[in-house]
Structures are given as structure tokens and as C-alpha cells.
Amino acid sequence: MSSHAIHQAGNRSGGANSAAAGTAKQKSAEETEVDELIQQLSTSETPEVQPGAAAEAAAKVNAAQPKHGKRHLVGKVAGAAASHNPKKDAAVTKNSRKPRNGTGRGLAKKGGAGGKGVWGKIGDEMDDYEEDEEAEDEPNDYDKTQAQKEEITKIDQLRAALAPILNEFYNHGKTAEVVRFLESISIKPALVPMIAYIAVDHSLDKKASERELTSTLLAELYDVLLSEEQFEEAVDELLKNLADLQRDCPTALEIVANYTARLIADDCLAPKFLEVRREKLAAQGDAKDALAALAKAAVLVNMNHGLVRLDNVWGVSGGIRPVKHLIKKMNQILKEYVASSGDVMEALRCLRELQVPHFHHEFVYEALLEVMENGSERAFDLLLKLLKEAANESILTVDQINTGFQRVYDDLVDIVLDVPSAYTATEKFATQCQLQGIIGQDLLKKFPQRGRKRYASENDGGRLKEEVDDELEKFRERAASNAAHIEEDEEDD
């Protein structure tokens, strides 16, 4: 090799060594800078890093660290001090549910309601519901709140609004529901007293139990929606229109009087109201029916313990009544029906007013007893006609009729002691009821047969005692004769 070539090779080697030395020196300086930065991050005090220098420092750390070394420190250059937890790093693996920050219970995301093929939790569609803005602009959109707040200015509107509410109230009997409805609507102040007027008017053709509910409702409205002055206006309106009310309901006078007396007992009206109104109407001289209603109300209020008795001014209705009272009322209806002209409709109306359809079998039972005890053909025909009409009108159901007849069948053994002809009369009446279609053939076949009375001269076999005695005497004679023959044979032997 020539000296020139050797010289060039030496130059190249020296240059390479110097370049390597420079690179090593530069790398050593960068590592030193990174180590200082890591040392600062490990201390309790957070170094102040300028916004522009944060990215440069993070890049230096990423370049200086190996691929899997201290990765958790990269995102915390400008944050608090970071600590290395080998257990958490080991727990974080691929497909693991545990979060990489080491927190959480390892449960499925969204409570198991997320992921592929999952529709989400029940009710999520309601949370993300968005109203259609175009639908809000439609002119036919119905606003219930606005409709309820529209002021009622005419009595016909108020009557139409209250009628269905009162009918529902007669079914459930909850005064709070009616009060809540009245508070939700807007009524012209001059029409507020008409609430009581419409309630009374609506109950004129109702039952006593529904009138009792109406009285309870009026007492509940006192000091809530209606004042004493407004109740006075309502009663004045009832007295003023009493003649018209009587055309639709003949008993309107008694009903208005009972309502007026009950309002006084419930402290909705002052007791002096009756006297003041009577003087005022007497001065006018053309209010005969109104004066009669006020007079009847005064009698109810002024009787002994009147205010206490007025709690039952409409009577005790339905199944609340004692059984003995119901039996007495049914027996009274039947006796008045037979003794009078036999008004079927009036008798059935009285039966309906008792409001005990589950106890109508007692009415059938009492009717059969009346047939036995009366014994006349007139009573027989009238009661047969009554039961037939009640069955046709479905006032007496098939079950109630069958139960009433079966009860009589079971008690005939005891009834016959007081009414000797009970079996004959009952069988005859049951046969006619079957022919009229009131009862079925099966029920008629269940009629018990009266057993024949056994006389003292009869034995258990049904034969006369004298015949038995004769046969017994003949048997004794044969036995004695046989015994004599046996003794003779023994002596011969």
C-alpha cells in the first residue's frame, strides 16, 4: 500500500473517531438532561414548565426511554408527581375490563347495556326523547292545561262540566277528587254558588245513598270553595226554582227541605237563615212551595236532638242496615202490597230503594211465607204477579229466586208446626211459579215430600198392633204344640 493511501485511510479513521466521540458526547448530554427532568418529576414539587416547552420535554422523554419503559410518565409531564405500581401494570392486559388507571370495579360498561347487538337499558329511549319542533307549530295542537283554564261563564257550561264528575263521584265516593277538579277549572265568580245548586239538582232523581254523598260533598266544599253567603245564594236559587223542579221530580220539595236542614247541621248555613228567609218570602206572598220547604226544614232542625239526627236525614242505606231492619222493611212492603190495590210498580220501587240486591232472596222467602199465612186466593195471585214482574225486570235474579225457594224448602219442617197447610200451599205456589217461568223444573222437583205421621197403634213395620199380637199368639201356640210333641216322643223312647 502506498504512503498516500495509508495517509487517506488514517484521515478517514481519525474523522470517524472524532465523529463518534462527538455523537457520544451529544448523547450523554441529552441523557443527562432527561435524567434531570425525571428527577424533577419524582420530587413533590411540580416543576414550572412553559406551555411551549411541555411538548419538547415530552418528545425528549419518549425518545430517551425504551419502548415499554415508564410509559405512564409521558402524559404527566406537566401534572402531579407520578408513582409506579407494578401490580396495576401487570393487571392491565389485553381484553381486560379493568381500566388502565387502576380504578373501577371491573364491571361491564353501561351496566351491560352497551356493546354490539345490545339495544340499551329499558327506558333509555325516553331519556333521549326530543320533541318535534314542527309538531309544536301545528295549529290543531290540543293544550289540556289551556283548555282547563278557560273560564266558564255560563251555567250550562258548568252543568256539562260537573255532570260526569258527579256521576263518577257517586261510584267512588271520594270528595277530594271533586275538589281537585273544581280547583283545576276556572269559573266565573258569579257562577261559583251554582256549584251547590247543580249538585242538589243533579241528585233529585238519585237514590238516598247518592244524596247522602252529595250532602257530604257540600260540607267538604265549605270554606274550601264555597262560603256561607254562597250557600245562601244556592238555597235561594233552589227555592226560587222549586216549582220547576217539582215538575221533573214530585218529591223535590221534601228533598230541598232535607238538604237545607242538613246544611244547617253541617254548619254551612246559620240557623237564623230559615227565619230570615221565611219572613222575606211571606212578605212577597207568592212563594207557597218555598215556604212549605222552609217550614219542613225548620221542623227537622228544631226536633229533639235534631242536629244529631240530621246526620241520617237520608237514612242508612244498603248493606249498612241491620238484617232485622231489612227483613222488617221487606215484610212491610209485601203486606202493604197485598192489603192495598196491589200496585206492582210501587212495591218494586220500594224494594229498589233498600239497595240490597244481594239480599233479595229474603224478599222471595217472605213472599212465600205471606202466601202460606194469608191463605187467600187474592194474596196468592197478587204475590205470583209480583214475583213474575220482578223476575222480568231482573230485579230478582235467578240465583236469588232459587235461594229463596230452597230456604223455604229447608224450613218447611218447622213452618208446618205454625202453618199446618204449609206443604200444600207451597207446593201449589211453586207449581204455578214453574208454569209462569219464574223457577225451573229442577227446582220444583226438589220440593220435599211430607212424611206420613205414624200412629201409636203402628209398629215399626207399619202394620196395626192388633194384627201383630194375633200372629204372635199363633206363633206361641205352635211353639207350645211342638214342645208337647217332643216331650211325648222322648217318653216313648
Q: Is residue 399 part of a domain?
A: yes
* Distance separating the N- and C-terminal Cα atoms of the chain: 183
Domain co-membership, 279 together with 264: yes
Domain co-membership, 268 together with 352: no
Q: Is residue 36 part of a domain?
A: yes
Its domain, for residue 188, covers 150-312
Domain co-membership, 40 together with 56: yes
Domain co-membership, 288 together with 271: yes
Instruction: Summarize pLDDT for 82-100 with one digit per residue, the tens.
Output: 455 555 555 555 556 666 6
Instruction: Give CA–CA dist 198/35, Å, rounded.
Output: 95
Last residue of a domain, one of 33, 54, 81: 81
Residue 158 corresponds to which amino acid? L
Instruction: Give CA–CA dist 231/220, Å, rounded.
Output: 12
Residue 360 pLDDT > 90, yes or no?
Answer: yes
Pairing of strands 151-152, 186-187: parallel
Secondary structure in 3-state letters for 208-253 = HHHHHHHHHHHHHHECCCECHHHHHHHHHHHHHCHHHHHHHCCCHH
Domain co-membership, 279 together with 308: yes
Q: Is residue 29 part of a domain?
A: yes
Domain co-membership, 307 together with 342: no
Domain co-membership, 403 together with 387: yes
Domain co-membership, 194 together with 267: yes
**Cell numbers linked to 168:** 263518577
Instruction: Give CA–CA dist 443/427, Å, rounded.
Output: 11
Q: Which of the pair, 261 or 488, is modelled with greater confidence?
A: 261
State the average pLDDT for the chain: 78
pLDDT at 284: 80
Domain co-membership, 339 together with 363: yes
**pLDDT range class, residue 410, cuts 50, 70, 90:** very high
Last residue of a domain, one of 81, 98, 130: 81
- Cα 150 to Cα 153, 179, 182, 360: the distances in Å are 9, 18, 13, 48
pLDDT at 474: 81
Residue 55 pLDDT > 80, yes or no?
Answer: no
Q: Is residue 61 part of a domain?
A: yes
Domain co-membership, 223 together with 244: yes
Domain co-membership, 296 together with 323: no
pLDDT cut 90: percent of the chain above it: 40
Q: Is residue 419 part of a domain?
A: yes
295 contact partners, CB below 8 Å, separation of at least 6: 278
Domain co-membership, 280 together with 360: no
Q: What is the CATH number of the domain that holds 389?
A: 1.25.40.180
Last residue of a domain, one of 81, 99, 130: 81
**Cell numbers linked to 193:** 254558588
Q: Is residue 194 part of a domain?
A: yes
Q: Is residue 139 part of a domain?
A: no
Q: Is residue 201 part of a domain?
A: yes
Secondary structure in 3-state letters for 21-60 = HHHHHHHHHHHHHHHHHHHHHHCCCCCCCCHHHHHHHHHH
The pLDDT of 127-133, averaged and rounded, is: 54
Please tell me the total count of domains within the chain: 3
